Amino acid sequence: MVSRVIPVDPFDLVIFGGTGDLARRKILPGLFRRFVAGQMPDDAQIIGAARGDMDDSEYRAMTEDAIREFGGRKVSDDAVARFLERVHFTTVDAMGDEGWAKLAEKLPPGRVRAFYFSVAPSLFGALAERLRHFGLADAASRIVVEKPFGHDLHSARALNRVLEEYFAEDEIYRIDHYLGKETVQNLMAVRFGNMLFEPLWNAQYVDHIQITVAETVGVGGRGSYYDKSGAMRDMVQNHIMQLLCLIAMEPPARFEPDAVRDEKLKVIRALDPVPAHHLVRGQYSGNGTHPSYCDDVEDPRSRTESFVALRAHVSNWRWAGTPFYIRTGKRLRARTSEIAVVFKDAPHSIFGADAGRHRNVLVIRLQPNEGMTLDVTIKEPGPGGMRLMDAPLDLTFADAMSPDADEVPDAYERLIMDVIRGNQTLFMRGDEVEAAWAWTDPLIDEWEARGDVPQPYDIGAAGPEDALMLMHRDGRKWREIRG
C-alpha cells in the first residue's frame, strides 16, 4: 500500500537556529524527504537564520551535507539540486535588531509563514517579540517551539505568558516529537478505530499498564543540558506523559486539536501525586567500554538521574485501581519503546489448575520493529492433554504499510507539514504542558529536598534493582527489555 501525499499550500519556513544540530539532523533532511515525496509546492521557501555570516550558496552547501548524511535512501543529485533552489539564508540575531528588515523582504504576503524556533529556549521570548516588533508575523503566521518547554511549572508558565503576549494559542505549535511518530498515532487508531479494544480498556479488565522507553545511548555530547534536566524532565514530563495520555484518555468526539487536547489534559489532571516509595531514580556506572554518567557530564558528584521508574495512578472511573508503571533510561540493555496493556486473568479456568493460566497482553511496539502483539492463550500442541500456553498474534506495521520504509515520514517531517497545514492536533497546548509540570514538580522538589542520590546501575542492565522491586512488591513483573 502506498501512502497518500496531501500537498500543502505555498509556504515560507524560517528556521531560527538553521545551522544548529537539530536543523542539520532532523529539520532540513525531513523537509527534503517531504519534497521528494511531492508534498512541497514549487515556490516554497526554506530560510535558515542564525547569527553566523553565510550567503545562500554556503548555506545550501551545509544543507546538502546534512541531507546526504541524514536524508535517507532517496538522495539523488537531481532531487538535491531542485530542493536547494528553495533554500536561503539570512543573518539575524534573536537578541539584536539587525537583519530583521532584510528577512521581512524575503517573505511575500498572502502565504503561510512558519517560524521554527530551533534555538536555545532562553531566546524564544526575544524571537517572538522581534517577529511582532519588526512586522514579520501576519495573520497566516505561526511559531514552532522546541523542547524543553520550561524547566518547571514556574518557567513554563512564564514562557507561555511571554509567547501569548505576541501570538495566540492557535498560532503556537509546541513540539513533542513523540506525537509525530507513526506508531504513536497508531495508538489512537488502534484504540478508537476498533470495536475490539475499547470495551475492555478500563480497570475492570486491565490489571496494569507498562510504559517503557529504553535507550542504549548515554548522554553523549548533550551532558551540559541533560545534567540540569535528568530523565524525569527530559522524557517523563513530556514524551512519556503524552504516551500515558493517549493510552488513558477518554475517546474524543472528533480527531481535532482541542477535542484531543481537552481529553489529554483531563488525564494529566487526574494523576495522583506519586509517593516517594513508588519512585526509583538511577544513574549508570561506567564499564571498560563506556564512561559512567558522571564522567559523561564531567561532574563527579552529579545527582541527576539517567533512569527513572515510577508507579502512577489515574484517579478517575475508568482507571481507578489500575497502576501505570513507567520506566525510562539511558545505557540500558536495548533500545526499545513499548506500551504493554496487561489484562486480568480470566475469572475462572475450566481446565483446572494443572493446565496453567495465562494473561492476554497487548503490546504496542513504538520502536524499533514498530507493531503490535496480542498474546492469546491457546492449547499447547501435542497429545499432552489440555495444557495452556501463550501465542502472539503479531502485526508488524511495516508489513501493513508501504514496502518502502522511506515513505513512512519521520516524526519531524510529519509535524512540520502539520504546522504548514495549520493542524495542532499533534502539538501540546499551553495548559497541557503546565499541568504536566504541576505533576512532576512536587516529585522533583521532594527528592531534591531529601538530597536523594540516584542508585547506580550497570550499563546494559534494565535499571537499578529497586526498579525491579517496584513491580515485584505488587506481585508483578516488568517485561524484558529486548531490542
Does the protein bind ligand LXAUTJHC through residue 338 (CB under 6 A)?
no
CA neighbor of 186 nearest in space, from 129, 137, 247: 247
**Distance in angstroms (rounded) separating the CA atoms of residues 192 and 186:** 10
- Of the candidates 121, 422, 456, 460, which one interacts with ligand NDP according to CB under 6 A? 121
**Distance in angstroms (rounded) separating the CA atoms of residues 189 and 212:** 20
Q: Which residue is nearest to ligand LXAUTJHC (CB)?
A: 234
Rounded to the nearest whole angstrom, what is the least distance from the CB of residue 359 to ligand NDP in the complex?
A: 37
Site for ligand NDP in 131-160 (CB under 6 A): 146-148
Nearer to ligand NDP, 20 or 72 (CB): 20
Rounded to the nearest whole angstrom, what is the least distance from the CB of residue 337 to ligand LXAUTJHC in the complex?
A: 6
> Residue for cell digits 501505570?
324
Rounded to the nearest whole angstrom, what is the least distance from the CB of residue 122 to ligand NDP in the complex?
A: 9
**ω into 148 cis (within 30 of 0):** yes
| Among ligand LXAUTJHC, ligand NDP, none, partner that 234 touches (CB below 5 to 8 angstroms by kind) | ligand LXAUTJHC
Site string for ligand LXAUTJHC, 215-244 (x = CB under 6 A): x------------------x----------
Q: What is the DSSP string of 359-375?
A: --EEEEEEESS-EEEEE
Site for ligand NDP in 266-295 (CB under 6 A): none
Q: Report whether 212 belongs to an annotated binding site.
A: no
Nearer to ligand LXAUTJHC, 64 or 418 (CB): 418
Nearer to ligand LXAUTJHC, 64 or 234 (CB): 234
Does the protein bind ligand LXAUTJHC through residue 410 (CB under 6 A)?
no
Rounded to the nearest whole angstrom, what is the least distance from the CB of residue 21 to ligand LXAUTJHC in the complex?
A: 12
341 contacts 361 by C-beta, under 8 angstroms: yes
CA neighbor of 7 nearest in space, from 424, 402, 420: 420
Q: Using DSSP, how many helices (H) and how many strands (E) does the chain show?
A: 17, 15
3-state secondary structure (DSSP) of residue 79: helix
3-state secondary structure (DSSP) of residue 456: strand
Rounded to the nearest whole angstrom, what is the least distance from the CB of residue 330 to ligand NDP in the complex?
A: 14
Residues that contact ligand NDP, how many (by CB under 6 A):
22
| Among ligand NDP, ligand LXAUTJHC, none, partner that 50 touches (CB below 5 to 8 angstroms by kind) | ligand NDP
Nearer to ligand LXAUTJHC, 28 or 240 (CB): 240
Rounded to the nearest whole angstrom, what is the least distance from the CB of residue 138 to ligand NDP in the complex?
A: 21
Cell numbers linked to 247: 493510552
Site for ligand NDP in 44-103 (CB under 6 A): 50-52, 93-95
Residue 30 C-alpha from the chain's centroid: 16
| H or E element at residue 207 | strand 206-214
Strand partners, 307: 282, 329
Nearer to ligand LXAUTJHC, 227 or 234 (CB): 234
| Among ligand NDP, ligand LXAUTJHC, none, partner that 457 touches (CB below 5 to 8 angstroms by kind) | none
Site for ligand NDP in 311-370 (CB under 6 A): none
415 contacts 27 by C-beta, under 8 angstroms: no
Nearer to ligand LXAUTJHC, 80 or 339 (CB): 339
| Among ligand NDP, ligand LXAUTJHC, none, partner that 22 touches (CB below 5 to 8 angstroms by kind) | ligand NDP
3-state secondary structure (DSSP) of residue 339: strand
Q: Which residue is nearest to ligand NDP (CB)?
A: 20
Does the protein bind ligand NDP through residue 20 (CB under 6 A)?
yes
> Catalytic: 239?
yes
Cell numbers linked to 5: 501525499
Starting at the edge strand found earlier in the chain, the sheet holding 371-379 runs 388-396, 371-379, 361-367, 336-343, 206-214, 324-329, 307-312, 279-284, 455-457
- Of the candidates 107, 114, 119, 417, which one interacts with ligand NDP according to CB under 6 A? 119
Cell numbers linked to 384: 499432552
**Distance in angstroms (rounded) separating the CA atoms of residues 48 and 31:** 12
Nearer to ligand LXAUTJHC, 337 or 440 (CB): 337
* Residues in CB range of 420: below 8 A, 6 or more apart: 8, 9, 11, 13, 112, 114
Q: Which of 239, 277, 313, 348 is catalytic?
A: 239
3-state secondary structure (DSSP) of residue 15: strand
Cell numbers linked to 331: 545505557
Q: Alpha-carbon dihedral of residues 105, 109, 114, 119, nearest 10 degrees?
A: 20
254 contacts 425 by C-beta, under 8 angstroms: no
| Among ligand NDP, ligand LXAUTJHC, none, partner that 19 touches (CB below 5 to 8 angstroms by kind) | ligand NDP
3-state secondary structure (DSSP) of residue 269: helix
Which ranges of 209-282 does DSSP label H, i.e. alpha helix? 223-226, 230-231, 241-248, 257-269
Rounded to the nearest whole angstrom, what is the least distance from the CB of residue 217 to ligand LXAUTJHC in the complex?
A: 6
Nearer to ligand LXAUTJHC, 45 or 337 (CB): 337
Q: Which residues are identified as catalytic?
A: 239
Name the site residues for ligand NDP (rule: CB under 6 A): 16-23, 50-52, 93-95, 118-121, 123, 146-148
| Residues of the shown chain interacting with ligand LXAUTJHC in the complex, contacts defined by CB under 6 A | 215, 234, 337
